[in-house]
């Protein structure tokens, strides 16, 4: 598999925001979002075997692993053996994915944080995938403005899901505007800001 980096940090978003985590960042992405903050993951990355990734994860001695990217499901055939190894060793795992690939093959091993792309991203996801999410998963809408919030509200109304939903403001967006939207419209979602950006960590 091709890996961009493996590092430990506080989980800045997702299902376990605020928890210490080991991040395994897969290289490559099929989207080019306008506000992407990990463009360096588009490069080829370093080839690693599942055993080498496991050993690097174990070095940090943290039981929670976030598989991120890039888009990890671009490398599904390499990802699944890694998930099996980590799951068998007792790690709690979350996969961050961009809402363009089915997740059924990996849900046995991990919670899913699915990012449904809003108009400001310049990209799109498949909202039909929301039907496959479970209560332990999460759907995330990265929102830049009221227009994105209205889009996310419509998606949640049109594509029911069992997963909790969050509106995550783009870094530098008007947080107050987005909070006011949630108070005014009351969509079935909550506000989740990027904690790692506030803390100034990776």
| Per-residue pLDDT band at 1 (split at 50, 70, 90) | very high
pLDDT in tens, 152-186: 999 999 999 999 999 999 999 999 999 999 999 99
Torsion of CA 10, 132, 73, 63, to 10 degrees: 30
Task: Enter the pTM of the model.
Answer: 0.96
Question: Based on the structure, what is the number of domains in the chain?
Answer: 1
Q: Tell me the angle at which helices 50-59 and 76-88 cross, rounded to the nearest 10 degrees.
A: 50
Find the Cα–Cα–Cα–Cα dihedral 144, 125, 80, 201, rounded to 10°.
-10
Which residues have C-beta within 8 Å of that of residue 8, sequence separation ≥ 6?
A: 20, 21, 22, 23, 60, 62
CATH of the domain at 100: 3.20.20.70
Domain that includes residue 10, residue range: 2-199
Residue-level pLDDT at 133: 99
């Amino acid at each position: 598999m091709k890996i961009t980096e493996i590092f430990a940090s506080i989980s800045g978003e997702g299902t376990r925001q605020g928890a210490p985590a080991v991040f395994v960042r897969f290289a490559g992405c099929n989207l080019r979002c306008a506000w992407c903050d990990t463009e360096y993951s588009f490069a080829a990355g370093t080839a690693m075997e599942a055993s080498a990734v496991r050993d690097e994860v174990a070095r940090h001695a943290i039981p929670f692993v976030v598989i991120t990217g890039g888009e990890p499901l671009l490398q599904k055939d390499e990802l699944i053996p890694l998930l099996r190894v980590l799951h068998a060793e007792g790690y709690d795992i979350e996969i961050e994915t961009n809402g363009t690939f089915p997740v059924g093959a990996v849900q046995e091993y991990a919670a899913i944080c699915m990012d449904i792309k809003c108009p400001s991203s310049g990209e799109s996801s498949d909202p039909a995938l929301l039907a496959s999410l479970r209560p332990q998963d999460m759907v995330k809408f990265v929102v830049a403005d009221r227009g994105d919030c209205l889009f996310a509200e419509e998606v949640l109304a049109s594509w029911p899901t069992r997963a909790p939903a969050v509106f995550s403001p783009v870094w530098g967006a008007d947080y107050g505007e987005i909070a006011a939207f949630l108070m005014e419209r009351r969509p079935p979602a909550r506000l989740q800001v990027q904690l790692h950006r506030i803390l100034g960590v990776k």
